[in-house]
Structure 1
Amino acid sequence: MNLADEFESILKNRNVTSLFQPIVRLRDGEVLGYEALSRGPKDSPLYSPIKLLNIAHEQNRLWELEQLFRISAIEKASILKLDKLLFLNVDPDVINDDSFKKGFTMNFLEKHNLPPDSIIFEITERTAIKDYKKFNEILNYYTNQGYKIAIDDVGAGYSGLKTISKTKPNYLKIDMELIRDIDKDSFKQAIIKAFVDTAMSTNIKLIAEGIETKEELKTLINLGVYGGQGYLLKKPSENITDIPKEIKNLIINYNKITSNVFKYSANYHYIGTIMEEAKAFSPDTPCKVIKEYFDNSDVEGACLIENNKPVGLIMKNHLNSVLAKQYGFAVYSKRPVSLIMDDAPLVVDYYTPINIVSEAAMDRSNDKVYDNIIVTKGAKYSGIVSIRKLLLYTTTAEKNYARELNPLTSLPGNSIINRVLNDTISLNKPTCILYLDLDNFKAYNDVYGFDNGDKIIQLTAEIIKTQAKSMFPYNSFVGHVGGDDFVCLIDAPLKECELFCKNVISEFDEKILNFFNKKDRLNGYIKSEDRNGNVYVYNLTSVSIAVLYGLVNKFAAPSELAQYMSSIKKEAKKEKYSNYVIKEIY
């Protein structure tokens, strides 16, 4: 049988294979939903979806094949009693077809016990969108019924910024090419971080595709990506299955690392910790009922939900303003609150860091900046956070955090350093820990004074911080132990840690010369006199770096680790000039 006949047989007998791959929330490892992936018959030369789609395109029967894919996926999802989101791939040319509308009626979904708000149309741009106005009209037809939209393969092909800005999707799925080896590529990390920030401020959920290694997963969690899928989490399966327990535990542990080691600020507590479990209403609720609720409670706003999912927000001041207008009460009191609700409020996930929510809230338009924030958990309504409570928390957190910073350099001080080191030595993973110390610094203070000495301390802090931020923007920590001692943690290969040391030394040795007079610079040393009148000669101030790389969980406590690092530092300080000494431990 040739391929054309095989293809005809597949359509005639509706013989396709539907697989399901879980899409996982990267905050806690919970499955959000499943992407339906279709194949040909297992024993067919057209089992590959690429071959199948190519021949469908050649035969001008793409619509028939994609319709078969969707129907098969929905029927199987219904049989398997799917209670999560279902992501269905749809080509722009197909969704524009009138036949698509007829095939996706409410009755069709009801027959299979799937509500529209559980269906995500994943726009796969194998072809360019030619008419965005018409395309958006089609999308609005579906979103008004509760369906949601995802843009697939962002960063590849036609899935560019224009498509995102024109369609305003609910989900963005980042192409696997941007995810591959992201742990080793700071440029990719910067791109994804920009997507994360944009997604947060626009209420879009970001999903990383094609996660294949633990290092990629850890980096994506560190960057704040909302969801992920890929072979590491779970391969596509014919059944609806959860991810393995060990992978879920890995995600939970990576989140602990991210929150405690590299995001040491108290602002990285989750928004769910300050959420109020406030009552929610149907958008069909009469306005007078909502007003009675506001009048008899101290809440400032209420979330409006359908199937336990947020669809809008009504604020007390806005409702009172509408009802206070001439004829306002007569017109609106018995009518549904949906007529005056905000249908695009700020909605955030329970596990979103508070500082990120605070930034998004302040980025809203002036007329919305004081509106409540809706919090969801697993896409379902969980509660509300008022701006008053958000500001109170962030102000208190900033005061508490400021007390833990070194007053001279504003770097994290000993209490934070100890927490970070405690978390680090509890992990069974290679880590790079660096202790940095200035040489001949006391002699400098004796000659040039403490004010100039403080400036050198600030210079050193800035060099370490800038180099760490430049080389490891999302996986480094810098702390100030006190005096001229600093500590730095880096999650990177040993070669990159060594390059970091070289960069710090190079920049320090160049800039430190500005703190000596011309005579001392030319001599290459300074003379210092002690209290007894004895004159000593000291080399110009330099920096010594003690580096420990490997599994540090052999140390019982930070004090034991510090003792070991002290021995490495003594070895480094034997040299007359700036240098570093690396010890590996496994």
Structure 2
Amino acid sequence: MDYNYTISEYWLSCISQLDFAFQPIVNIHSGVCYGCEALLRNYEAAGFSSISAFFDQAFRDEMLYPVDLALREKAIRKFSELSWNRQIRLFLNLDNRLLNSSNYRSGNTLNLLKTYGLVQDTVCFELSERQKLDDVQEAIRILNVYRSQGFKIAVDDCGTGFSGLQVLYYTRPDFIKIDRFFIQDIENDPDKRLVVGSIVNIAHLMGSLVVAEGIETKQEYYGCRTIGCDLIQGYFVQFPETDISRLKTRYEQICKLSSIDQRDKNAEDKKLISTEMTCIEAISCRCEIFEAFKFFRQKKDQNFFPVVNDNEEPLGIISEKSFKEYAYSRYGTALLQNPAFGKSITRFISKYPIADIHTPVEKILEIYSRNENIEGILIVEDMKYKGFLSAHSLLKVLNEKNIAVARDQNPLTRLPGNTLIHEYVSQALQDTQNQYVLVYFDFDNFKPYNDTYGFRHGDRVILLFADMLRARTQYANRFAGHIGGDDFFMGIHGTTLEKVCSDVAKTAEEFRKNAESFYDPEAIRKGYILSKDRDGSDKAFPLLTVSAVIMELPALRSSVASVEEISRILAKYKKSAKQSAEKLHVIRFGSKENDAEPETGDSCLPDFLLPEERLHIQTYIN
């Protein structure tokens, strides 16, 4: 293709050796492929040590824009060969120095898309925060030109670069991509969760979607999903592929993880939202201005309409007040029909907050409450417009949910009660393909404490432990429940038994230390209190601790036990846990058919537990 730029033989040779690998960007709830990022490959064969070195040399040779444009064509041509390319977007990295390039000309990318039969909103340009913008205002002007042509804008490497919130403020990007640094080990790092959560909140308030980059583990997936990210990208989904035939329209492993997340009660939220939302007719972004104007005249009770693109993705809304100056002007109608005024409705589209239909209703309320002068939220599923949730409907959904939740909660701790615990265990037992760990907690010496200090102080101890469990189960692969009294339950899936045992041991130790504060100084000094035992005799009771029975349900189990059977086993070994020095008893639910009685012995110990640790562990043979 003729770019009207001269590219030297050297750079043409370099470009000919390069290739692009595509890495999918998928919906975090459904696994549906939303787009692919084009990643440069084979730069070593062209004689460069890194991608950065390649572009730095092109910049020094004053060839950055022509070279980038040639690579852009290469990526678009390869993308056009994908049979289902109209269903997804192509994310192209944009070297920030291009935005201040003297030989930049608009319209070249549009011409490329036309050549290969693609529409303009196919492409999303990624602007990196890692590179400093020399002239921010000029860069913003060029980005606005891209947006006016129908291209999408993403801010890449969010949180790591030079411009930070300034770029977000000026560009109001369609996508914000969170750097891998903040995603790695997010499930164990509260500071990273705070940063990512803040970025997600800002993005959603601006009407932007959030892409979590570099997802490599199931735990990172759950962490990002719980915080509210919309899309994910990384090795956990698929490695970058130079062979585009290996790309998929849907990634079933993501869909499955979402569906087996039994702690997630968003399915109930989805039902409530679906019932209450209104399906306001959407206007196509290809609709001409005067046709859009007639929509308001025909439907006088409607003061806005959602605007969607060819893939039914909402771009924002077009409101009646946008046309007010034309509607009441003497020549307003004639002006709207004048070709010189322009036919596109782009200038009238306002960005509007959106939420996925799987989003918890509390999060939707938060998005709504932080936006002024809006009447509700646009609801999407798989990024496609589904309907509109008004403020009135949102409050109704929240009220109905609160009533349902209160019915199934423990009245003291507000943790899920026995009904929800039973549901969780039942679903975990039926999901024989995946590993789960069930933990049963029971306080030690709670009755004598209650008898000595009273029920009010006993409730404070119960609330302390409930808060500790709540803090440790805030992610979607963990569930906490209150059985009643001083008995608690925790369920985890996708985490190793070793990690769970370590977490439970830390929880028990933290509870032991915190529980001391509920005693008087004399009891703390002695390390015990005097109270009546079950026979009515005076006895010295140690200070409060907590014991735990831990049962692993391995992946690929060959049989399904009943909830009652599991409950019986957990209760049976409560005494063993209380008698052990570590206050833990670990059970592995086996897959071999044998007697219903458990086998005991050090031969059943996992590799990470040594016999001298005196941690009780058994394998339950089913």
Q: TM-score, normalised by structure 2?
A: 0.79
Answer yes or no: is the 8 Å Cα contact 2:30–2:382 preserved in 1: no
1:328 partner letter: Y
Distance 2:256 2:11 in 1: 50
2:418 partner letter: N
The verdict on how the C-alpha distance between 1:56 and 1:520 changes in structure 2, with shifts beyond 3 A counting, is closer
User: How much does 1:314 deviate?
Assistant: 4.7
Cα deviation 1:273-302 (Å, max 9, x = unaligned): 64433212346235454143244xxx6742
How many residue pairs are counted as aligned between the two chains? Answer: 564
Cα deviation 1:347-394 (Å, max 9, x = unaligned): 2334433332221011101x22xx132233444433222222221111
Cα deviation 1:231-278 (Å, max 9, x = unaligned): 342333345446459x822111211244x2255795476855644332
User: How much does 1:517 deviate?
Assistant: 5.4
Of the three residues 546, 549, 570, the one matched with 1:546 is 549
Answer yes or no: is the 8 Å Cα contact 2:157–2:179 preserved in 1: yes
The verdict on how the C-alpha distance between 1:556 and 1:207 changes in structure 2, with shifts beyond 3 A counting, is same
- Residue in 2 that maps onto 1:456: 461
The verdict on how the C-alpha distance between 1:447 and 1:37 changes in structure 2, with shifts beyond 3 A counting, is closer
Please say which of residues 178-187 and 483-492 is displaced more in the overlay. 178-187
- Residue in 2 that maps onto 1:564: 569
Distance 2:551 2:486 in 1: 19
Structure 1 vs Structure 2 CA RMSD: 3.7
Instruction: Give the percent of matched residue pairs that are identical in Structure 1 and Structure 2.
Output: 27
Distance 2:288 2:8 in 1: 53
Matches within 5 A, 1:116-265: 116-124=120-128, 127-158=131-162, 160-183=164-187, 185-241=189-245, 243=247, 248-258=251-261, 260-261=262-263
Matches within 5 A, 1:83-102: 83=86, 84-97=88-101, 99-102=103-106
- Residue in 1 that maps onto 2:299: 293
Please say which of residues 36-45 and 64-73 is displaced more in the overlay. 36-45
Cα deviation 1:413-466 (Å, max 9, x = unaligned): 111112222233325344332211123333444444434433333333234434
Please say which of residues 20-29 and 261-270 is displaced more in the overlay. 261-270
Matches within 5 A, 1:5-20: 7-10=10-13, 16-20=18-22
Answer yes or no: is the 8 Å Cα contact 2:441–2:548 preserved in 1: yes
User: How much does 1:140 deviate?
Assistant: 1.0
Matches within 5 A, 1:314-393: 314=318, 328=328, 343-365=350-372, 367-368=373-374, 371-393=375-397
Of the three residues 68, 89, 94, the one matched with 2:70 is 68
Answer yes or no: is the 8 Å Cα contact 1:36–1:73 preserved in 2: yes
Distance 2:396 2:154 in 1: 36
Cα deviation 1:91-131 (Å, max 9, x = unaligned): 12113335433452644432322222221111235631022
- Residue in 2 that maps onto 1:497: 500
* Structure 2 gap ranges (5+): 1-6, 337-343, 591-622
Answer yes or no: is the 8 Å Cα contact 2:24–2:247 preserved in 1: yes
Distance 2:240 2:426 in 1: 38
Answer yes or no: is the 8 Å Cα contact 1:39–1:48 preserved in 2: no
* Structure 1 gap ranges (5+): none
User: How much does 1:398 deviate?
Assistant: 0.8
| Secondary structure of residue in 2 paired with 1:556 | coil
User: How much does 1:538 deviate?
Assistant: 4.9
* 2:305 corresponds to 1:302: yes
Cα deviation 1:196-229 (Å, max 9, x = unaligned): 2332222221222333344433443343322122
Distance 2:43 2:485 in 1: 70
Answer yes or no: is the 8 Å Cα contact 1:270–1:354 preserved in 2: no
| Secondary structure of residue in 2 paired with 1:566 | helix
- Residue in 2 that maps onto 1:480: 482
* 2:414 corresponds to 1:410: yes
Distance 2:267 2:111 in 1: 51
The verdict on how the C-alpha distance between 1:400 and 1:300 changes in structure 2, with shifts beyond 3 A counting, is farther
The verdict on how the C-alpha distance between 1:8 and 1:508 changes in structure 2, with shifts beyond 3 A counting, is closer
Please say which of residues 108-117 and 499-508 is displaced more in the overlay. 499-508
